[in-house]
Structure 1
């Protein structure tokens, strides 16, 4: 009989496989992805969530929704709201946040480029709370947050890459899947 942890791990691996199946051909062929940028970012974000383990007391129930806060108005909200489920079947509750103060109760916080000025408040406000922070900011801000999602030119084609601040994840007791770490451009 498989344990809950083994089942969750299998679901996360399946989620990663789907993201790779959807994004890999476009990355390899050097062609633009057929999906709009916001949808690609939403897929990455869902994969990151599916491949993260929170401390055992974080969720009241095993099937409780993951609460995702999006700081500021961002195009990523539309594809997230259109399909508010994670690849592993867990529900996803999306909250549009006007400020970092509203992030209370979120398990994940996405900080888009437009909200960069709020980033300094994020670390102070969240402290050591087990919140997966995914930031889309210039490389100079890469030490902020747990996952840094960015666009990068490769062979004259814009592609998404991500870096992982694993030390920050460990400090707040988040366990990131080994495949998530292996596919990261940089781990620091």
Structure 2
């Protein structure tokens, strides 16, 4: 038992840099979505209104998201980050990272933003089936899958470049495995 207790803190310390690197990669994906995905003009208050990146639920990013977005501008817009445990506590979001473990709560949030110009992103295995737009899948390398039907419902344009590097794409209700 003592041997296990002695190794656990070392194991946790060894995993911390891996989690931090993963968080930075996920944050970079969120930043790049602002570059490649297109939103309808009415999604923004003005021509230079910021991108609002929201994290709903338990924040998996820590300092990685502000670090990756600090000083960045995409399409002439700076970034703002908002975090909350409830959707009602957030302003209008352009990119919404849904980090809610409870599937029923996650589905409820996704239903409420379904037809809004909000790019929903998450890691849950059922995220696309639940109505999310992009699922990030960490592993040896970060992969993503896209629910093109939901993107269209939200009036978001997903370019071919993103679809070509996606693992799976849902289109017309059919899941196609690309990689």
Do the two structures share a fold, i.e. TM-score over 0.5? yes
Which of residues 141, 147, 159 in structure 2 aligns to 1:165?
147
Deviation at 1:59, TM superposition (A): 1.1
Deviation at 1:116, TM superposition (A): 4.9
Per-residue displacement from partner, 1:123-176 (whole Å, max 9, x unpaired)?
Answer: 2221311100001112x3332310011124xxxxx2211000011101111011
In 1, Cα distance between the equivalents of 2:32 and 2:80? 15
Task: Please say if residues 30 and 95 of structure 2, whose CA atoms lie closer than 8 Å, have aligned partners that are also in contact.
Answer: no
Give 2:128's aligned residue. Answer: 142
Give 2:25's aligned residue. Answer: 40
Query: What's the TM-score once normalised by structure 1's chain length?
Result: 0.71
Give 1 or 2 for the bigger CA radius of gyration.
2
Structure 1, unmatched stretches of 5+, are 1-31, 153-157
Task: Please say if residues 67 and 105 of structure 1, whose CA atoms lie closer than 8 Å, have aligned partners that are also in contact.
Answer: yes
Give 1:20's aligned residue. Answer: none
Give 1:95's aligned residue. Answer: 82
In 2, Cα distance between the equivalents of 1:115 and 1:77? 21
In 2, Cα distance between the equivalents of 1:96 and 1:115? 18
Aligned runs of 1:12-161 on 2, under 5 Å?
36-82=21-67, 83-84=69-70, 85-86=72-73, 88=75, 90-112=77-99, 114=101, 116=103, 118-138=105-125, 140-143=126-129, 144-152=131-139, 158-161=140-143
Task: Please say if residues 71 and 115 of structure 1, whose CA atoms lie closer than 8 Å, have aligned partners that are also in contact.
Answer: no
How many residues end up aligned between the 2 structures? 151
Structure 2, unmatched stretches of 5+, are 1-16, 171-179
Query: What's the TM-score once normalised by structure 2's chain length?
Result: 0.74
**Closer, same or farther: CA 129–175 of 1 in aligned 2, 3 Å:** same
Q: Does 1:178 align with 2:160?
A: yes
